[in-house]
């Protein structure tokens, strides 16, 4: 489980204008809450925060006002046009506390080459100790045949990690390739069609 220390500054101004000023200064507005404490408004350096969030379920030791809060990213908002971080909610966690989180699932092994792999769900929800959240979980698809699926219950869970998602939730499905042959209507060549058209009047004239 990755744990990163990041320095923050206390925010004393609020509203859209204050948030825009924070972003122009290279910071991301954030709220730290949980465990019955009063929500704390801080600003985090954009570059450091962006690098930290590349790791799924990273723990952030946020340092400000002479104290450190152990937090877990809860909700991340990005600019819909640029994708740049715009705001983040951080929930306070305690060492030894168990939390529920979504964890990415990585596939391993080789499936039936005649099938087409579909990822139905890229994450599953689990419960784990706050400082022992796995960065990802593995799903072995060795021997998976076309037309078959693997489910949340098939994902390998480390010791101490409990599945919260529905065990029957599909994670991947191996579709069968279509073997249907499309029939293409045969169109007569232009010359042949013209010849047939000319032959018909000639035959009628002969009968007369």
DSSP for 45-61, please give it: EHHHHHHHTTSTT-EEE
Least confident range of 37-41, 103-107, 173-177, 199-203? 199-203
User: Residue 22: phi, psi to the nearest 5?
Assistant: -60, -45
pLDDT tens digits for 90-104? Answer: 999 999 999 999 999
The answer for residues whose C-beta is within 8 angstroms of residue 141's C-beta and 6 or more apart is 107, 108, 109, 110, 111, 117, 150, 172, 174
- pLDDT at 33 exceeding the cut of 90: yes
> Domains in the chain, ordered, with CATH?
3-93 (2.40.240.10), 94-208 (2.170.120.20)
- pLDDT at 63 exceeding the cut of 50: yes
- pLDDT at 68 exceeding the cut of 60: yes
Predicted local distance difference test score (pLDDT) of residue 186: 63
Predicted local distance difference test score (pLDDT) of residue 206: 47
- pLDDT at 192 exceeding the cut of 90: no
Report d(CA 119, CA 100) in Å as an integer: 22
Q: Which residue has the higher pLDDT, 121 or 205?
A: 121
Average per-residue pLDDT in the chain? Answer: 87
pLDDT tens digits for 107-141? Answer: 999 998 888 999 999 999 999 999 999 999 999 99
Give the residue ranges of DSSP H helices in 107-175: none
162-163 sheet: strands from edge to edge: 137-140, 98-108, 123-129, 162-163
Mean pLDDT for 76-103 is 93
């Amino acid at each position: 489980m990755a744990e990163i220390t990041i320095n923050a500054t206390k925010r004393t101004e609020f509203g859209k204008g204050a948030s825009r000023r924070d972003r122009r200064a290279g910071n991301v507005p954030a709220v730290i809450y949980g465990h019955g404490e009063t929500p704390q408004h801080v600003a985090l350096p954009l570059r450091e925060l962006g690098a930290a969030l590349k790791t799924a379920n990273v723990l952030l030791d946020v340092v400000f006002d002479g104290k450190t809060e152990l937090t877990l990213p809860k909700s991340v908002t990005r600019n819909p046009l640029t994708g740049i971080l715009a705001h983040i909610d951080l929930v306070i966690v305690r060492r030894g506390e168990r939390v529920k989180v979504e964890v990415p699932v990585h596939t391993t092994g080789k499936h039936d080459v005649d099938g087409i792999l579909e990822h139905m769900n890229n994450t599953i929800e689990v419960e784990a100790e706050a400082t022992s959240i796995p960065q990802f979980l593995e799903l072995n698809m060795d021997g998976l045949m076309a037309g078959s699926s693997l489910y949340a219950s098939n994902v390998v869970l480390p010791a101490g990690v409990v599945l919260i998602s529905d065990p029957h939730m599909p994670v991947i499905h191996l579709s069968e390739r279509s073997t249907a042959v499309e029939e293409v209507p045969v169109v007569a060549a232009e010359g042949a069609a013209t010849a047939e058209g000319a032959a018909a009047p000639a035959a009628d004239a002969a009968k007369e």
